[in-house]
């Protein structure tokens, strides 16, 4: 069998030595630390990118659910103005023309207080009653009669 030495040949006290007598651990430890350090350095940007992507996904999801109140009121104002002119010139209310303005009113109700949503509701009541009134020509509309 071989030698009964407690440590392999070329080692003293368990530390392996190379030809120059330097401990192998003194070379392996710094190299291992450098490799592991570079992995940690590389992991930082990857983790930051993942967090940013998750935040952007949440923003995109919730951004589609929420409606900015200012845009909704702007769309409602423009749509109701067009419908008011239409109501002055026609007697029949077309459901396809009125449904977008009712959808905007629903969005206003969701994003605003009850007091704020009362004004658009009054505008829709005015629109509905205007359809039943006598028609006005474009000439009368321009003159303000």
Greater confidence (39 vs 109) lies with 109
Q: Where does the chain show beta strands of DSSP type E?
A: 11-12, 15-16
Residue for token digits 């959808």? Answer: 103
Q: What is the pLDDT of residue 1?
A: 47
This model's pTM is above 0.95 = no
Residue whose token pair is 């969701």: 110
Query: In this predicted model, which residue has the larger pLDDT, 137 or 66?
Result: 137
Domain ranges, ordered by start, for the chain: 22-66, 69-136
Supply φ then ψ for residue 15, to 5 degrees. Answer: -90, 120
**DSSP 8-state assignment for residue 12:** E
Max avg pLDDT among 11-15, 44-48, 133-137? 133-137
Cα-based torsion angle of the residue sequence 16, 20, 22, 28 in order, rounded to the nearest 10 degrees:
-70
Q: 71-103 pLDDT, tens per residue?
A: 888 899 899 998 888 888 888 878 888 889 999
Q: Provide the pLDDT confidence category of residue 51 given band limits of 50, 70 and 90.
A: confident
- The percent of residues in the chain predicted with pLDDT above 90, rounded, is 6
Mean pLDDT along residues 43-49:
67
pLDDT tens figures, 22-43:
666 666 677 776 676 666 566 6
Q: Is it the case that residue 122 has pLDDT exceeding 90? A: yes
CA 104/CA 110 separation, integer angstroms: 10
Q: Which residues lie below 8 Å from residue 111, measured CB to CB, with a gap of 6+?
A: 66, 67, 69, 72
């Amino acid at each position: 069998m071989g030698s009964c030495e407690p440590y392999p040949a070329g080692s003293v006290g368990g530390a392996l030595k190379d030809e120059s007598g330097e401990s192998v651990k003194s070379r392996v430890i710094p190299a291992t630390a450098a490799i592991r350090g570079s992995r940690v350095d590389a992991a930082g940007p990857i983790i930051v990118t993942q967090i940013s992507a998750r935040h952007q996904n949440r923003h995109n999801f919730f951004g589609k659910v929420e409606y900015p109140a200012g845009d909704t009121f702007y769309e409602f104002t423009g749509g109701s103005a067009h419908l008011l002119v239409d109501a002055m010139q026609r007697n029949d209310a077309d459901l396809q023309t009125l449904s977008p303005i009712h959808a905007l009113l629903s969005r206003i109700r969701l994003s605003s207080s009850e007091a704020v949503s009362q004004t658009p509701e009054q505008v829709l009541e005015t629109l509905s009653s205007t359809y039943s009134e006598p028609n006005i020509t474009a000439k009368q509309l321009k003159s303000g009669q």
